[in-house]
């Protein structure tokens, strides 16, 4: 009899424990959505990182900004946040264009640039006044405009991106480097074009070596230059090294001593960067900055080479939204017409 009761008691006890376990699980069950979040938190490498891309929207060139953004957004699955920098007068136009086109899905912030920060720092130069536009100097002030990011991509507006911007963002910066650029001597395929249009790709093409202040830098005039139209920047290092202050110092010295001018190769925004970053920058993969497409209305790259390129840059006078210009079909693939009708492409039949 005892054994009979013992078995029954054990069975009852097991039943009670089973019921308790079921009830406990019901009460404390973790919702599946929360479970997924927990997994993500435990595996930081699986969390998606936001990619900040800084690009300017200048009056008369907003169509360029739109095409650049369109090309980036269309060619990546990454979480891109566009910082669109403009002057007070251009901001309503760019916002309206985005919100009334297929770009309305993008993540973007519009940032107003105050040109007063440049007062007394730009030497007036009549030969190429377009190079003195305030937005050309936005790249000098990245940490003031972008607060919360460690790593930032800056792009000129006259580019299109054919690759995945994530690749560019993943560019490795060496310890102590505040930025990465593309060397002007890095791609054999561009050397013939550089020679054919008489373009400069050394420091001599940008700085006036007749001036003592330039000679005192101890930089050989034959040193290869770099192009600051595409930058991957480390904001912590930039602030730590006070890069903005260094750039401003050379701008002010140029106002006083005329150390470089837009009659030389790259105008007034490239030269201070060549001085400040000399020997202290990392390299961007050359295919992520195929440039000089705007240098001549006649010189063309091979179509195969351009299809392989990840990023195309129409630096120079001949822009793909104007006429004459080259390889306009590649640029126009990404252009979205202005809903307001203010911006129009210049074409031979227009």
How many Å apart are CA 271 and CA 261, to the nearest integer?
A: 9
Instruction: Delimit the domains of the chain by residue range.
Output: 51-333
The DSSP letter of residue 111 is E
Give me the sign of the Cα torsion angle 167, 170, 173, 174: negative
The DSSP letter of residue 120 is T
Query: Which two three-digit tokens encode residue 69?
Result: 């953004």
How far the first Cα of the chain sits from its last, in Å, is 107
How many Å apart are CA 57 and CA 70, to the nearest integer?
A: 14
**Burial bucket for residue 134 (CB in 10 Å: 0-12, 13-18, 19+):** middle
Q: Which conformational region is residue 112 in: left (phi greater than 0), alpha (psi within -120 to 50 degrees), or beta?
A: beta
Instruction: Answer whether 344's CB lies under 8 Å from 323's CB.
Output: no
How many of the other CB atoms lie within 10 Å of CB of 111? 17
How many Å apart are CA 321 and CA 63, to the nearest integer?
A: 8
Q: Taking Cα atoms as reference points, which of 275, 270, 186, 264 lies closest to residue 231?
A: 270
Instruction: Answer whether 116's CB lies under 8 Å from 110's CB.
Output: no
Q: What are phi and psi of 100, to 5 degrees?
A: -110, 30
Number of H helices, E strands in the chain: 13, 9
Residue whose token pair is 């006649």: 298
181: β partners: 283
pLDDT for 346 equals 95
51: β partners: 80
pLDDT for 33 equals 33
How many Å apart are CA 93 and CA 88, to the nearest integer?
A: 10
Instruction: Answer whether 156's CB lies under 8 Å from 315's CB.
Output: yes
Fold of 51-333: Spore Coat Polysaccharide Biosynthesis Protein SpsA; Chain A (3.90.550)
pLDDT for 42 equals 35
232: β partners: 153, 180
Contacts 24+ apart (CB under 8 A), 209-216: 211/257, 211/258, 211/259, 213/253, 213/257, 213/259, 214/259, 214/260
pLDDT for 15 equals 72
Query: Which two three-digit tokens encode residue 7?
Result: 């078995």
Read off the pTM.
Answer: 0.84
- Cα–Cα distances (Å) from 313 to 23, 53, 317, 328, in that order, read 65, 16, 12, 12
pLDDT for 295 equals 87
- Cα–Cα distances (Å) from 76 to 72, 119, 153, 339, in that order, read 7, 39, 15, 25
pLDDT for 36 equals 34
pLDDT for 65 equals 98
Query: What is the chain's pLDDT, residue by residue, as a tens digit (350 residues)?
Result: 445 556 667 676 777 777 666 665 554 543 333 333 333 333 444 456 899 999 999 999 999 999 999 999 999 999 999 999 999 999 999 999 999 999 999 999 999 999 999 999 987 765 556 667 899 999 999 999 998 999 999 999 999 999 999 999 999 999 999 999 999 886 665 656 555 555 668 898 889 999 999 999 999 999 999 999 999 999 999 999 999 999 999 999 999 999 986 555 556 899 999 999 999 999 999 999 998 899 889 878 899 999 999 999 999 889 999 999 999 999 999 999 999 999 999 999 86
Q: Taking Cα atoms as reference points, which of 96, 108, 105 lies closest to residue 340?
A: 96
Instruction: Answer whether 62's CB lies under 8 Å from 90's CB.
Output: yes
């Amino acid at each position: 009899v005892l054994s009979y009761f013992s078995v029954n008691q054990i069975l009852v006890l097991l039943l009670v424990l089973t019921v308790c376990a079921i009830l406990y699980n019901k009460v404390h069950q973790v919702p599946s959505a929360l479970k997924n979040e927990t997994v993500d938190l435990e595996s930081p490498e699986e969390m998606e990182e936001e990619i900040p891309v800084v690009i300017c929207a200048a009056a008369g060139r907003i169509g360029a900004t739109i095409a650049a953004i369109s090309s980036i957004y269309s060619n990546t699955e990454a979480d891109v946040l566009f910082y669109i920098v403009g002057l007070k007068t251009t901001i309503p136009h760019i916002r309206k264009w985005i919100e009334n086109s297929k770009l309305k899905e993008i993540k973007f912030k519009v940032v107003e640039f105050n040109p007063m920060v440049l007062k007394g720092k730009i030497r007036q130069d009549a030969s190429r006044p377009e190079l003195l536009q305030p937005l050309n100097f936005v790249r000098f002030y990245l940490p003031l405009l972008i607060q919360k990011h460690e790593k930032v991509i800056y792009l000129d507006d006259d580019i299109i991106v054919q690759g995945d911007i994530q690749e560019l963002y993943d560019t490795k910066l060496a310890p102590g480097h505040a930025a990465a650029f593309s060397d002007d001597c890095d791609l054999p395929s561009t050397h013939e074009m550089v020679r054919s249009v008489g373009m400069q790709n050394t420091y001599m093409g940008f700085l006036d070596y007749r001036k003592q202040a330039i000679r005192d830098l101890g930089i050989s005039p034959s040193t290869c230059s770099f192009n600051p139209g595409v930058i991957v920047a480390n904001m912590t290092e930039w602030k730590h090294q006070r890069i903005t202050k260094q750039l401003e110092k050379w701008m002010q010295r140029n106002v006083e001593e005329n150390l470089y001018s837009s009659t030389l190769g790259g105008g007034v925004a490239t030269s201070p960067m060549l001085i400040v970053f000399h020997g202290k920058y990392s390299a961007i993969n050359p295919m992520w900055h195929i440039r000089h497409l705007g240098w001549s209305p006649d010189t063309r790259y091979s179509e195969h080479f351009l299809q392989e390129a990840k990023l195309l840059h129409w630096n120079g006078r001949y822009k793909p939204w104007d006429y004459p210009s080259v390889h306009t079909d590649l640029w126009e693939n990404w252009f979205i017409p202005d809903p307001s009708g203010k911006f129009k492409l210049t074409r031979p039949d227009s």
